Chains A and B, each alone.
Chain A
Amino acid sequence: MKTFDWKEKLLTVLFWLAALAVVGILFSIIGYIVWKGIAVVNLDFILEAPSRAGREGGISIAIVGTVYLTAVSLAIATPLGVGTAIYLEEYARRRSKFAYLVNLTSETLAGVPSIVFGLFGFVFFVIFLGMGWSVLSGSLTLAIMLLPTITRTAQEAILAVPHEYRENSLALGASKWQTVSRIIIPSALPGIVTGIILSIGRAVGETAAVILTAGSSLGMPGGLFDPARTMSVHLYILATEGISLERAFGTAFLIVILVIVINYFANLSLYRLSHSRNNR
């Protein structure tokens, strides 16, 4: 018995150390970014356009570009991804060849590095379809990247809805679509939103594919066909071209803040949604 106790204690300490390491790493990164970045961040840095390639002024255009690209790519990827998940889980026959193909494609897409999507987006959207470096080219490329995450998480969420709900709803004379729209989707919504939140993080952070498709213009993007620079792209350029490491950290600081704010609001809306439905 004694040896067991000794082993258990050692393992507990090891697991605790692992958890501590994760927390430590996370806090030191965020702490470092805040420490290095906070000096340049003020209201002007947020509201002003950059001048002298970013040596002066703010990053307003990059904030707008980031929000713009993220919103448009999600607007494209969410209906497609959730629609695919609904098809696969609710409409497709089990083990049908088409469902297998869709699943396989989505898994493969999830494993493709983002730079490959960027290259594809550059050749197809920017050049072949003549959209140029633009919000639309960038968003379409990002949407393809986000599709597997959104589809996968929505599939998992739909799969987790108890089978009895379907049976009970259909037995009451509901059609398939009534069952899906009134029971399945509302029940799966928290999981679907989680997938969207994960995708937001990816969209905000993506750099390589965005430079290739949305460009790195320093102008303020207006329409869908205007080029745009996202905060990640701005950070990359500031750092690699030796423009200003200080301002790169300032940008990084705001990226972290932006992601936290977006996650907070997504969670809040999710909380409101589930409570307005008096869920559980």
Chain B
Amino acid sequence: MGRKIKIKTEDISVFYRDFQALFNINIEIEENKVTALIGPSGCGKSTFLRTINRLNELIEGTRTKGQVYLEDVPVYAKDINVVALRKKVGIVFQKPSVFPMTIYENVAYGPKIHGVKKKNLLNEIVERSLKAANLWDEVSSRLNSPAAQLSGGQQQRLVIARVLAVEPHVILMDEPASALDPVSTSKLEELISELKKKYTIVIVTHNMQQAARVSDYTGFFLNGYLVEFNRTSELFVNPRDKRTEDYITGRFG
């Protein structure tokens, strides 16, 4: 079938001080597919997402056990370059957080810190990224105005453009639509299905319809465990686990 595994986790467990947030998670995430992670609040799906680019360690008192392989390279190895890892794995958060700079500077921020200095190359990257994020037409005439003036949906697409500008291999999305209105949400979902042609996408969402619409695979998390992982078409139609069934039919959560 030619399935290519992009990310593989081996017995990932995460602890916040004395609290264990994740228990031995094993997942294989396929290249150029959208994988959705669903589950009730506090089930550990966001925590899992953040193990992939080692973002949990920004919070003091967090320990991670197990291993994540990105393109067969162990992410939790001593000699790994975290900066290079995070360049490869972009993340889009729930609340779009644009930097207090112009639209242009926001997108150019990543390439600049990674050493791109030539003005025309930067211009090219900014234009390409904004186009890929379906934002170019709306902002091309005002690239030098403050990014904070954009609407919430535009800001979220700007954040995606900012991530695309560093040319990641994987894009993580942590409830990217939860702060958006329905129109912006459907624009974002369209964008996701375009992006998966080039990128591997892992999306955390509490919206099951959204998971069903945009994803190829879905994982159901509950209380820190991965209860079920399957093709989206299978999981929503024929859940194997009773708890998955209860959740997707709306009996709890």
A residues apposed to B, CB below 8 Å: 93-94, 162, 164-175, 178, 182-183, 186-187, 277-280
| Chain A residues, Cβ within 8 Å of B55 | 167, 170-171
Q: How far is A239 from B43 in the complex, measured between Cα atoms in Å?
A: 73
Compute the total of residue contacts between A and B using a CB distance below 8 Å.
71
The distance from the CB of B81 to the nearest CB of chain A, in whole angstroms, is 10
| Chain B residues, Cβ within 8 Å of A182 | 109, 113
Main secondary structure of the interface of A (DSSP, over half): helix
A165 touches B97 (CB 8 A): yes
Given contacts A167-B58, A173-B87, A183-B99, contact A278 B146 (CB under 8 A): yes
B86 touches A173 (CB 8 A): yes
A173 touches B99 (CB 8 A): no
Q: Name the one of A93, A172, A280 contacting B166, with C-beta atoms under 8 angstroms.
A: A172
Q: Does B91 contact A (CB under 8 A)?
A: yes
| Chain B residues, Cβ within 8 Å of A167 | 55, 58, 93, 97
A172 touches B109 (CB 8 A): yes
A178 touches B113 (CB 8 A): yes
A170 touches B58 (CB 8 A): yes
Given contacts A278-B102, A278-B146, contact A172 B97 (CB under 8 A): no
Closest to A172 in B: B110
Q: Does B83 contact A (CB under 8 A)?
A: yes
| Chain B residues, Cβ within 8 Å of A183 | 99
Q: Name the one of B101, B113, B146, B148 contacting A172, with C-beta atoms under 8 angstroms.
A: B113
Q: Does B63 contact A (CB under 8 A)?
A: no
| Chain A residues, Cβ within 8 Å of B148 | 280
Q: Does B162 contact A (CB under 8 A)?
A: yes
Q: Does B53 contact A (CB under 8 A)?
A: yes
B100 touches A279 (CB 8 A): yes
Q: How far is A97 from B162 in the complex, measured between Cα atoms in Å?
A: 38
The distance from the CB of A165 to the nearest CB of chain B, in whole angstroms, is 6
Closest to B95 in A: A164
Q: How far is A59 from B241 in the complex, measured between Cα atoms in Å?
A: 88
How large, as a class, is the contact surface on chain B?
A: 20 to 34
Please provide the chain B residues from 156 to 187 with a CB less than 8 Å away from any CB of chain A in the complex: 159, 162-163, 166
The distance from the CB of B95 to the nearest CB of chain A, in whole angstroms, is 7
Closest to B111 in A: A172
| Chain A residues, Cβ within 8 Å of B99 | 165, 168-169, 183
Q: Does B116 contact A (CB under 8 A)?
A: no
| Chain A residues, Cβ within 8 Å of B90 | 171-172
| Chain B residues, Cβ within 8 Å of A165 | 97, 99
Most buried by B among A167, A182, A186, A278: A278
Q: Does B144 contact A (CB under 8 A)?
A: yes
Q: Does B145 contact A (CB under 8 A)?
A: yes
Q: How far is A169 from B93 in the complex, measured between Cα atoms in Å?
A: 12
Query: Can you list 19 A-B contacts with CB-CB less than 8 angstroms, sorted by A residue number?
Result: A93-B60, A94-B60, A162-B97, A165-B97, A165-B99, A166-B58, A168-B99, A168-B159, A170-B86, A171-B53, A172-B90, A172-B110, A172-B162, A172-B166, A173-B114, A178-B113, A277-B100, A280-B100, A280-B148
A187 touches B86 (CB 8 A): no
Q: How far is A279 from B100 in the complex, measured between Cα atoms in Å?
A: 5
Closest to B146 in A: A278
The distance from the CB of B227 to the nearest CB of chain A, in whole angstroms, is 28
Question: What string of 1s and 0s marks CB contacts (under 8 Å) between B104-128 and chain A?
Answer: 0000011001100000000000000
A278 touches B101 (CB 8 A): yes
| Chain A residues, Cβ within 8 Å of B146 | 278-280
B84 touches A173 (CB 8 A): yes
B113 touches A164 (CB 8 A): no
B58 touches A164 (CB 8 A): no
A173 touches B145 (CB 8 A): no
A173 touches B166 (CB 8 A): yes
Q: How far is A1 from B200 in the complex, measured between Cα atoms in Å?
A: 65
| Extra contacts besides A168-B97, A279-B146 (13): CB < 8 Å | A94-B60, A164-B97, A167-B93, A168-B159, A168-B162, A169-B99, A172-B113, A172-B162, A172-B166, A173-B84, A174-B109, A182-B109, A280-B148
Closest to B102 in A: A278
Q: How far is A175 from B83 in the complex, measured between Cα atoms in Å?
A: 7
Q: How far is A162 from B102 in the complex, measured between Cα atoms in Å?
A: 17
Closest to B104 in A: A278
B93 touches A172 (CB 8 A): no
Given contacts A277-B100, A279-B146, contact A174 B95 (CB under 8 A): no
